[in-house]
Structure 1
Amino acid sequence: MRRCMPVKIPDNLPAAGILESENIFVMSETRAANQDIRPMKVLILNLMPNKIETETQLLRLLGNTPLQVDVDLLRIHDKESKHTSIDHMNNFYRDFKAISHKNYDGLIITGAPLGQIEFEEVTYWDHIREIIDWSQRHVTSVLFLCWAAHAALYHLYGLNRKLLKTKRAGVFLHQRTSQHLPLLRGFDDEFLAPHSRFAQMDIDELKAHPGLQVLTESDEAGAYMVLSSNSRNLFVMGHPEYQKLTLKDEYFRDLGAGLKPEIPQNYFRNDDPEQEPVARWYGHGSLLVSNWLNYYVYQLTPYNLDDMSAITPWEEAELP
């Protein structure tokens, strides 16, 4: 019987115990050293404040594939984090200098709580641009999430987001706008996905750009999944990695900070924050990451990562 292959993570990473309790197969570096297999090497640039929570969310999705995945965690700077201990950061995260000479099969860049700040005013904007440029030469495929998707579309294509008057938070219905793409295999015609952001891309500008293809969209939340013409970059405007209580935690955090947030849409039972939320996007999130990792990373990446020139665009690849 075929089993899901594990995600390889550093020994003692806090996410290990959580994922093992959920029967998600993870493997320590020590155990993986005895495996004779070419795993997918995936780098995660984690820009979210609570590093451990985001690590666990993404590793949960990566662990639901039939591929073995080696994960490196990357930080944007070495400044002390308000929400994650310095010991955790020093033990498990790497600086860009330490990995910039390497090639990776995949890269995931997370969202960031920077939705109301102009890109050029972000303290590490130059570093973000450097990593995005590096990824176009050293990574087979890049998955940009939420703020990172907006930042990359701005840097790579010159398309800027539009700030919203209020935060767009909730779970929204989306439709497929493309057919027969590997990334959408198994997707229903309509599906739900969570959003949490202060800005939105102009969907007409995205559709008009010759280097981009809008794959899924929402009447309420706009473009959701956008793919570059060479299949190297996937821009996801929401948060497929979010767990059941993530939007709830954000809502009550903002409420406690006196920000007067609106109640996340289509999320709490009866739209009542005193009632439990309903998670209705897990299947979509898992399928999105699995399809990305299989069709746009594993099927296209060279066996020898030193030869990035061997990457074949999806349109030319001979895949099942």
Structure 2
Amino acid sequence: MPINIPDALPAKDILESEKIFAIEDKSAHRQRIRPLKIVILNLMPKKIETETQILRLISKSALQVDIDFMMVKNHVSKNTSQDHLVKFYTYFEKLKNNYYDGMIITGAPVEHLEYEDVDYWSELEEIMEWSKTHVYSTLHICWGAQAGLYYHYGIQKHILPEKVFGIFPEQLVDEYDFLTNGFDEIHYTPHSRHTAIDEEAVKKVKCLSILSKNDEIGSNIIVTKDYRQIFILGHFEYGKETLKDEYFRDLKANKPIHIPFNYFPDDDPEKEPILKWRSHANLLYRNWLNYVYQLTPFEIEEIGKIKEPIGTGSREDHGYAKTFTK
């Protein structure tokens, strides 16, 4: 079934050229079914590119999905036009009375900063706390995953001596897990990050499960046992040339960068990269949406009445005391 996106969203033309069926608000409102409601908190600088990548994966589901785009108020985007933001994005304060079947929190290029030094950290804390009572399942990506693990469980990150950059083979820990159902025992995931999480701290949190990992770079997919919180350290949503563009961008800026691992054939940047992760990316998002569809309440406001899921708990339960006030 189609995804329902805002009228005239730039990603629509791109998706249609790829034979992905997307309908606009006017058409969707005539249908007599209950679509899934997904909100995307897009923290990436190039918002149109990230929108397209994520919508491409969501669209592979047979379910109709309504999409809202959320933005934080305490940060001014320099790489996306104000006109686009005004037209398609809504501040959290105007969405916080809504309920959603699912939420996606993207990565952000702020990993060199301490969490509390990020200019929108206080607002992001509020959003992540709100998600526990207003969202059935939240999917966190890359820095968003690190931030979520830190906020909910106090799991720290650390700077790596060398950037994790390339396409890495990940091994399934449990091949029969719901979220990775249908995955091969080895799957590939793009990574582009300067930081890593405290793996030992993850293992000590009883409600967290590691679903896939690489022995050299650590965990890739981490979930709570009820799938209410999902943390993905890599970038399943990346397009074929995303790492290529990043590599040449950093070269041009004279930043320290190595050829992405396992990406260019023969490690030759002049050769076209091979897309090795698309089928698993599609399957991951399809499994997630199917899970949400199966278990989220039909009357979406009922999400707020669900007892606090085992996938969250209090920060104090995990040895990280912090008072949160709305």
Bucket of the pairwise TM-score, normalised by the shorter protein = over 0.9
Alignment partner of 1:185 is 2:178: no
Alignment partner of 1:303 is 2:261: no
Identity fraction in percent: 47
Runs of 4 or more, structure 1, over 2 Å off, are 77-81, 202-205, 309-315
Q: Equivalent residue of 1:150, what SS?
A: helix
Report what 1:318 is aligned to: none
1:249 is matched with which residue: 245, 251, 255?
Answer: 245
Structure 2: unaligned runs, 5 residues or longer: 312-326
Report what 2:317 is aligned to: none
Structure 1 residues 1-320: aligned runs within 5 Å: 5-77=1-73, 79-295=75-291, 297-308=292-303, 309-310=305-306
The answer to whether the Cα contact below 8 Å between 2:212 and 2:222 also exists between their aligned partners in 1 is yes
The answer to whether the Cα contact below 8 Å between 1:302 and 1:310 also exists between their aligned partners in 2 is no
Deviation at 1:117, TM superposition (A): 1.0
The answer to whether the Cα contact below 8 Å between 1:145 and 1:238 also exists between their aligned partners in 2 is yes
Q: Equivalent residue of 2:295, what SS?
A: coil
Give the letter aligned to residue 304 of structure 1.
Answer: E
The answer to whether the Cα contact below 8 Å between 1:119 and 1:125 also exists between their aligned partners in 2 is yes
Distance 2:225 2:29 in 1: 37
Q: Equivalent residue of 1:307, what SS?
A: helix
The answer to whether the Cα contact below 8 Å between 1:78 and 1:95 also exists between their aligned partners in 2 is no
| TM-score normalized by the length of structure 1 | 0.94
The answer to whether the Cα contact below 8 Å between 1:80 and 1:86 also exists between their aligned partners in 2 is no
Deviation at 1:313, TM superposition (A): 6.8
Distance 1:54 1:131 in 2: 20
Give the letter aligned to residue 253 of structure 2.
Answer: A
After TM superposition, the structure 1 stretch with the greater mean CA deviation from structure 2, 269-278 or 87-96, is 269-278
The answer to whether the Cα contact below 8 Å between 1:160 and 1:201 also exists between their aligned partners in 2 is yes
Deviation at 1:314, TM superposition (A): 10
Deviation at 1:78, TM superposition (A): 6.7
Give the letter aligned to residue 302 of structure 2.
Answer: D
Distance 2:124 2:249 in 1: 27
Q: Deviations over 1:210-247 (max 9, x none)?
A: 12110100123210000113320000000000000001
Distance 2:269 2:116 in 1: 36
Structure 1: unaligned runs, 5 residues or longer: 316-320
The answer to whether the Cα contact below 8 Å between 1:300 and 1:314 also exists between their aligned partners in 2 is no
Measured on the aligned residues, the alpha-carbon RMSD in Å equals 1.6
The answer to whether the Cα contact below 8 Å between 1:231 and 1:313 also exists between their aligned partners in 2 is no
Give the letter aligned to residue 113 of structure 1.
Answer: P
| CA spacing shift, 1:159–1:312, aligned 2, 3 Å | closer
The answer to whether the Cα contact below 8 Å between 2:74 and 2:119 also exists between their aligned partners in 1 is no
| TM-score normalized by the length of structure 2 | 0.92
Distance 1:18 1:272 in 2: 29
